[in-house]
């Protein structure tokens, strides 16, 4: 009898509780507070004097995010609390922190956040919605940025030999997301360079977000470290030249394009190697 009364009493309590009065508790799925990367500041560049630069060349490289080494730049394709892909992070900087992006690689023509969204696939679509009576009604539906379509990044770099330190150095000057998608009307594959980011202006943003570490979640580095430490896989697509900076694929085709890209890399390696005596 006592057990029956206890069950009835507990049941009455549960029925009396209004679900709206139940407050969700704060959930932290980490056992510690991450403070290293979120509070990190990018390491300052060393001062470079013109008199110390005895050789320099501008190089454009392509980062293909479909390669395993570059996956941390592509994933996650959806929103997550403690992780962002590179394009998600850049959009955060554009929308929330005033990061200025440009239409050209010379950083002369800034574009608006609305133009950025449009170039990344966001916009409006007209869809037909079935009604209760079986008829269809056309409605305008807003579409979001398609993060999964940013599969490549173009980076512009400055390679130089500093005789003060007697070593070959490189600095990233700009980053451009490349969007690849299938046109819904024609069914053809399309490609577009979305915009250019001046890398030095984005370093403070990139230094405060982690890049996923496959082997250890407690030892992640920042996006800025990822680029400064050259942890990505890339191939050369262009070098500074007398022909208005034309791309390699504009004067070669097929396997010759890859061979030309390797030749440019090899020339840089041999230049540094020949400066030393053994």
User: Which tens digits make up the pLDDT trace of 44-100?
Assistant: 999 999 999 999 999 999 999 999 999 999 999 987 878 999 999 999 999 999 999
What are the tens digits of pLDDT across the range 268-277? 999 888 887 6
pLDDT of residue 80: 81
Q: Is residue 3 part of a domain?
A: no
Rounded CA separation 224/112 (Å): 24
pLDDT of residue 72: 95
Rounded CA separation 55/47 (Å): 16
- For residue 264, the enclosing domain spans 37-119+151-274
Per the structure, the count of domains in the chain is 1
Q: Is residue 162 part of a domain?
A: yes
Among 79-83, 154-158, 192-196, the minimum mean pLDDT is found in 79-83
Q: Is residue 115 part of a domain?
A: yes
For 29, 76, 79, 153, the CA distances from 88, given in Å and listed in that order, are 22, 9, 8, 13
Confidence of residue 162 (pLDDT cuts 50, 70, 90): very high
Closest CA to 64 of 150, 147, 148, 152: 152
Q: Is residue 22 part of a domain?
A: no
Rounded CA separation 262/177 (Å): 23
pLDDT of residue 8: 53
Q: Is residue 32 part of a domain?
A: no
Among 16-30, 38-52, 82-96, 249-263, the minimum mean pLDDT is found in 16-30
Task: Write down the pTM of the prediction.
Answer: 0.84
Rounded CA separation 213/234 (Å): 19
What are the tens digits of pLDDT across the range 201-228? 999 999 999 999 999 999 999 999 999 9
| Residue 137 or residue 166, greater confidence | 166
Q: Is residue 12 part of a domain?
A: no
Share of the chain above pLDDT 70, in %: 87
Q: Is residue 134 part of a domain?
A: no
Q: Is residue 259 part of a domain?
A: yes
Rounded CA separation 275/4 (Å): 92
Buried b (16+ CB within 10 A) or exposed e, 44-58: eeeebeeeeeeeebb
């Amino acid at each position: 009898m006592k057990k029956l009364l206890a069950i009835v009493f507990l049941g009455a309590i549960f029925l009396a509780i209004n679900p709206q009065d139940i407050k969700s508790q704060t959930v932290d799925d980490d056992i510690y507070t991450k403070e290293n990367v979120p509070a990190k500041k990018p390491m300052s560049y060393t001062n470079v004097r013109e008199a110390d630069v005895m050789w320099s060349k501008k190089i454009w490289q392509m980062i293909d995010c479909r390669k395993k080494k570059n996956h941390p730049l592509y994933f996650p394709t959806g929103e997550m609390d403690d992780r962002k892909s590179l394009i998600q992070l850049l959009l955060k900087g554009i929308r929330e922190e005033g990061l200025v992006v440009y239409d050209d690689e010379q950083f002369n023509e800034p574009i608006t956040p609305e133009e950025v969204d449009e170039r990344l696939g966001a916009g409006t679509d007209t869809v037909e919605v079935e009604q209760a009576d079986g008829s269809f009604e056309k409605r305008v539906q807003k579409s979001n940025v398609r993060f999964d379509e940013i599969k490549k990044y173009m980076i512009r770099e400055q390679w130089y030999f500093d005789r003060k330190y007697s070593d070959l150095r490189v600095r990233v000057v700009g980053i451009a997301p490349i969007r690849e998608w299938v046109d819904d009307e024609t069914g053809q594959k399309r490609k577009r360079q979305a915009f250019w980011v001046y890398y030095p202006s984005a370093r403070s943003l990139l230094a405060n977000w982690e890049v996923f570490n496959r082997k250890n979640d407690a030892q992640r580095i920042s996006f800025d470290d990822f680029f400064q430490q050259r942890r990505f896989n890339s191939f050369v697509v262009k070098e500074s030249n007398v022909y208005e900076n034309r791309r390699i694929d504009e004067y070669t085709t097929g396997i010759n394009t890859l061979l030309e890209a390797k030749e440019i890399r090899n020339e840089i390696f041999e230049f540094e190697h020949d400066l030393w005596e053994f």
